[in-house]
Structure 1
Amino acid sequence: MRQIYLDYNASTPIDPVVAEAMRPFLDHAFGNPSSGHWASAPAKAGLDRARGQVAALLGAAPDEIVFTSGGSEANNLAIKGTFFAPNRRGAHIITSAIEHPAILAPCRFLERLGGSVTYLPVNGTGLVDPEDVRRAITPQTALISIMHANNEVGTVQPIAEIGAIARQHGIPFHTDAAQSVGKIATKVDELGVDMLTIAGHKLYAPKGVGALYLRRGTEVEPVIHGAGHEFGRRAGTESALLAAGLGAACAIAADLAPVSRIQTLRDRLWQALQDSFGDGVALNGHPTHRLPNTLNVSFVDMIGADILSRLRDVAASTGSACHSGQIELSPVLAAMGVPERVAMGAIRFSLGRYTTVDEIDEVVTGLATIAAV
């Protein structure tokens, strides 16, 4: 079998258009965007252009976009920045049990500093109940952070409903949209969020760049202190090179029409697996409210990692990339109540812009051969 990449939720290749947008900043536009002279002008212009492209994708204003080193830093800025903000209303945070470690780890860190965190449960399809959010709110609640779409099973949360609850109580609301940007609509006013995280390498942009949307009037304490870069919210000389890549990727992602082809391929894979394995394969996550590119399935009474080790030319995942290599029950599937004999056989296939029909068919054939042994 040829090498086949079905791990787009872990990382995407850099789109050629994105690479071309970055080239001037490798070749000649090397100046510091903040220097204010002729050498800085091209870098400053590129940075401004990229900020506008990211803002346009989200339906935001350019000055609401803070460039970061990636999704993890953006999440840390949202959570820690809110916790340490001078005007915070308390030390209580509401999140879910199936968040990415870039949310859960900062929350646990803040618990060591005296904060309190409510980790909301999810149902069997990975959905948070908005009423659970409402019931968890206290006078001390400073932040609600619920991911837009889960990185492992692809379940899309009812963010707009949760956002309405947050607004009713005057509580800042953050969503980690690293997996959803470019796959489904992420207009910040429609979602009702005050903060939203983007990660470049999930979006056909380079690794090492991301952004946090920060609604005007939402105060956060910087996590990185220094000079007044990024409107005083994130110190450090900006990389016009990386920002240009993220901006170009966001401009491409504004057109969601190509995603329908990816969803068709995902559904083709799921149908073929059902035809081949019958009751021996189970879907993890919500059947309809999930990302169009993500298929998390369990091969019952098998070990997902063992299957992938034998399907060595197929790049897929037994969980999020942050957990790869560990043969243990996925915390996300455990939170969903998936039985161990089912959860241990889980594999996440995540498709992308360059996935083909032939690749899908080859993977199904390979899986069927392994199961027959």
Structure 2
Amino acid sequence: MKKKSFIKRSTLPEASLCAKTHAKVFRTATFRSAAVFRSAAVFRTAAFCAAVFLLAGCGNDNESATADGNGSRVPLEVTGGISAQTRAADAAWAASDAIGIYMLKSGTTDIAESAANRRYTTAQGDGRFSADAGASIYYPIDGSKVDFLAYYPHSASGVADGKYALDLSDQSHLPAIDLMSASVSGKDKSAPGVAFNFHHLLTKLELVNTPGTGITASELKGMTVEITGQRTAASYDILFEALDVADATATLTLNTSADGKKSAAILLPNTKTVVNPIVPGRQLVFTLKTGGEKFYWNIPDDKSFNAGEKNIYTITINRSGLEVTSSITDWTSGNGTGETGSAQ
């Protein structure tokens, strides 16, 4: 594979990504905390109520799991309580969902107890997480304080040196690209319970497509929906909580239902800054399966799709063009109480 060259606008170690496009220049955004997505300008990040609790319990290792000190090792048992719709699929945890957890020496990015990218899975999707065999995380025996970083969805092959390779070119399974993170600081084995509040790092676009004048519901079946001017490759530095976005742009095909009535996509957040600036002339393109007839809606150049937002648009497809309205649900409101527009 052709080696890519990256230039980054940050002090983070150089990231690497495999992509099918030409050489990319990476732009960097950082997260000051789990609730703030920042760069030269601040991405608005939505905090959500997905709480993952790390509680003292039994691990898979053959060592003492008591929590009353003096040489004993205290492991983490993970359960997840989700009180809001937090994932790209707008539902609770699914069976086999997995998060990755890092334990760090307090106040640093140094890995503690070799606990890096440990996989915890909720086998039944009931919010009760357990570590893979031999992957249980233990607090330091000496009682020193540690910090935790977690991300979703867990990846083994896609993470190298603490960097998560992200490719949004395939929108066929949205939860697989719904990147979230959380952090907790200043913990020790005397109080092993940890609660993670996860935040969406990307942005979601959702369309409700309806037939209008001159269009029948059957004509929407098999319809293809695309969005132009999108950057699709990025690298998320888990330890530094920074997102590097590649310059190259492409047209993304949204995940559209068979009846053509719903379309959705997870996108890299757009800003007016150097990190991931808005590409002028973005469009939504609707192509009917029968006859290949196309309809277009021009996305305003001042419309920013920010981190943690879900923008919902209702698209009425008429023979003479499109009618567009919008509303917001679940994630942080990205366009207030709604927008109206027209397209053809």
For Structure 1 versus Structure 2, the TM-score category normalised by the shorter chain is: under 0.3
Q: Is the helix fraction higher in 1 or 2? A: 1
What TM-score do the two structures reach when normalised by structure 1?
A: 0.23
Q: Is the strand fraction higher in 1 or 2? A: 2
Answer 1 or 2: higher relative contact order, Cα 8 Å, separation at least 6.
1
What TM-score do the two structures reach when normalised by structure 2?
A: 0.25
